[in-house]
């Protein structure tokens, strides 16, 4: 006879936090949101990678590219570059993030001396940058021969066919700095010479980076940035259980900090074999998360297989239709509570703390706090980040509203059959995700700041100032359908502006 769970499968919307005692220390400015990303011996050693905020971006084409990865790393979180692309392209994205050393920017706008003013204008319209590096071969790392800024040309007074070499600021008139220049030294040079940008060149005159005056304030603005020992942004990447023998080495060589097996269902031999390969080749030096699972048995399997963290959630994403098409999954709240209990039991038995990631089901900001209270160490968000400026999708006007495109990895558009691999034929037999639009949300920074302030405020209401204490001391209550209605505005007529 089949096994039946006695409790229903519940979502975040079916729970509320009950306030605790709020002391004078419980103010948002005192709340720490640091949290472990990968496994460690809790109480005996520090976690190798600690997030400064408990947010990661989903392994999706419509969410996590190199641009969003840098933006989220500045906030203190981490992105997992999507793996449903060629190995070469994914590794290149990872490398671009790692090359974006904090304060040292790889040139994104590059031309040759024989390009024209029309090319400069087109490049500026495309990416919005006013500083263009002029190199011999037109690449970001070619031999620097000059730069072009808005001060070097006037569109109204010049022929657009004018060659770049005829109006650029040539190398002999530029202030540059050698490759071993520190960020502090670079900023001193910028202020001393009243520069807007400082090219960093190697001993052969090849361009390496730019340091911009405008970034000085930015460095002060993002004190939580996720940086490695070389002041480069930390970045993750998704892998699958098919081509991992080729994909993993390429990503490691590109400098990836942590990997994650991207699968709709992780309690499988395929994930174990992927982890086994990584452990045999790299030992514990390469960190890899696994999942997704929705109950304790699946967690223990992946933890014992060597996973550095485990993702929780099947079918809860806003664009996921796995539950509707296959009838498998579990309410995100119930799944998270079950897996968190298994994680704590595994820690008691082994002394190894394996963090869990809540993936899916986050609709409102307060769901973030609920997920953390239920035991999640960090969250993985797709729709939330897809609406931001930094996501790779198009911003469109639909029905007089700005929207951004958002599609699931199980949709026909993504055709990411590897994520749903069951060891059989290599194609997408049916869709497990949809293609959609979501409201445009603006800058990632503004959204994260607002959401996390709500999280901190709620934690203060619960009488805690860090995530471990929230997990230990939170009091949660199941709410009725009537209570959910009562929790929103009701029995009033809203005023509208006329």
Residue 160 has pLDDT above 60, yes or no: yes
Active site residue 26: no
**318 contacts: CB under 8 Å, gap ≥ 6:** 363, 382, 383, 436, 438
Active site residue 320: yes
Q: What is the pLDDT of residue 414?
A: 60
Which of the following is catalytic: 247, 330, 343, 419? 419
What is the rounded average pLDDT for all residues in the chain?
A: 91
Portion of the chain with pLDDT greater than 90, in percent: 71
Arithmetic mean of pLDDT, 139-168: 92
Radius of gyration of the chain (CA): 25
Q: Which residue has the higher pLDDT, 54 or 411?
A: 54
Task: Write the pLDDT tens digit of every residue in 61-76.
Answer: 999 999 999 999 999 9
In this prediction, residue 362 has a pLDDT band, given cuts at 50, 70 and 90, of very high
Q: Which residue has the higher pLDDT, 357 or 264?
A: 357
Distance CA 323, CA 330 (A): 8
Which of the following is catalytic: 26, 47, 260, 320? 320
CA dihedral sign of residues 272, 275, 281, 285 = negative
Q: What is the pLDDT of residue 286?
A: 98
Q: What is the pLDDT of residue 220?
A: 67
In this prediction, residue 487 has a pLDDT band, given cuts at 50, 70 and 90, of confident
Q: What is the pLDDT of residue 67?
A: 92
Arithmetic mean of pLDDT, 457-479: 97
Task: Write the pLDDT tens digit of every residue in 407-434.
Answer: 877 666 766 656 556 665 555 556 667 7
Q: What is the pLDDT of residue 316?
A: 83
Q: What is the pLDDT of residue 348?
A: 98
Task: Write the pLDDT tens digit of every residue in 100-135.
Answer: 776 788 888 899 999 999 999 998 887 777 899 999
Q: What is the pLDDT of residue 108?
A: 82
Arithmetic mean of pLDDT, 216-238: 85
Predicted model pTM: 0.82
Q: Which residue has the higher pLDDT, 404 or 322?
A: 404
Q: What is the pLDDT of residue 371?
A: 98
Q: What is the pLDDT of residue 111?
A: 95
Residue 172 has pLDDT above 70, yes or no: yes
Arithmetic mean of pLDDT, 431-458: 91
Q: b/e for 126-140, b at 16 or more Cβ within 10 A? A: eeebbbbbbbeebeb
Q: What is the pLDDT of residue 321?
A: 73
Q: What is the pLDDT of residue 222?
A: 84
């Amino acid at each position: 006879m089949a096994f039946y769970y006695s409790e229903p499968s519940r979502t975040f919307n079916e729970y509320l936090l009950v306030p605790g005692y709020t002391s004078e220390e419980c103010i948002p400015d005192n709340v720490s949101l640091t949290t472990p990303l990968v496994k460690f011996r809790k109480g005996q050693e520090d976690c190798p990678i600690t997030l400064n905020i408990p947010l990661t971006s989903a392994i999706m084409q419509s969410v996590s590219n190199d641009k969003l990865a840098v933006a989220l790393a500045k906030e203190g979180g981490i992105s997992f570059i999507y793996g449903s692309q060629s190995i070469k392209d994914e590794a290149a994205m990872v490398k671009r993030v790692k090359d974006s050393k904090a304060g040292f920017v790889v040139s994104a706008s590059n031309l040759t001396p024989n390009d024209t003013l029309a090319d400069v204008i087109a490049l500026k319209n495309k990416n919005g940058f006013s500083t263009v590096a002029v190199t011999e071969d037109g690449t970001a790392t070619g031999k620097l021969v000059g730069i072009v800024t808005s001060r070097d040309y006037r569109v109204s007074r010049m022929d657009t066919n004018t060659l770049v070499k005829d109006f650029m600021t040539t190398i002999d008139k530029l202030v540059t700095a050698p490759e071993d220049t520190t960020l502090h030294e670079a900023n001193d040079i910028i202020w001393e010479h009243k520069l807007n940008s400082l090219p960093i060149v190697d001993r052969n005159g090849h361009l390496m980076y730019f340091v911009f005056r405008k970034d000085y304030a930015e460095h002060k603005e993002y004190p939580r940035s996720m940086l490695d020992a070389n002041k480069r942004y930390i970045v993750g990447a998704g892998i699958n259980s098919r081509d991992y023998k080729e994909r993993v080495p390429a990503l490691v060589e590109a400098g990836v900090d942590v990997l994650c097996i991207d699968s709709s269902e992780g309690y499988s031999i395929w994930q174990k074999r992927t982890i086994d390969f990584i452990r045999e080749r790299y030992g514990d030096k390469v960190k890899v998360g696994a999942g997704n699972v929705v109950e304790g048995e699946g967690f223990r399997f992946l933890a014992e297989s060597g996973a550095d963290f485990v993702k929780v959630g099947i079918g809860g994403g806003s664009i996921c239709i796995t539950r509707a098409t296959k009838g498998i999954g579990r309410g995100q709240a119930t799944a998270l509570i079950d897996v968190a209990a298994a994680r704590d039991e595994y820690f008691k038995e082994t002394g190894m703390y394996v963090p869990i990631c809540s993936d899916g089901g986050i609709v409102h900001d307060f769901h973030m706090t609920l997920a953390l209270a239920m035991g999640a160490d960090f969250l993985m968000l797709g729709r939330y980040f897809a609406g931001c400026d930094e996501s790779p999708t198009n911003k469109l006007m639909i029905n007089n509203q700005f929207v951004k495109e958002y599609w699931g990895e199980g949709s026909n558009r993504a055709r990411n059959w590897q994520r749903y691999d069951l060891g059989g034929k290599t194609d997408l037999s049916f869709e497990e995700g949809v293609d959609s639009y979501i409201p445009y949300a603006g800058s990632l920074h503004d959204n994260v700041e607002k959401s996390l302030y709500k999280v901190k405020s709620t934690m203060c209401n619960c009488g805690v100032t860090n995530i471990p204490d929230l997990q230990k001391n939170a009091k949660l209550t199941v709410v009725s359908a009537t209570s959910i209605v009562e929790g929103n505005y009701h029995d009033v007529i809203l005023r509208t502006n006329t």
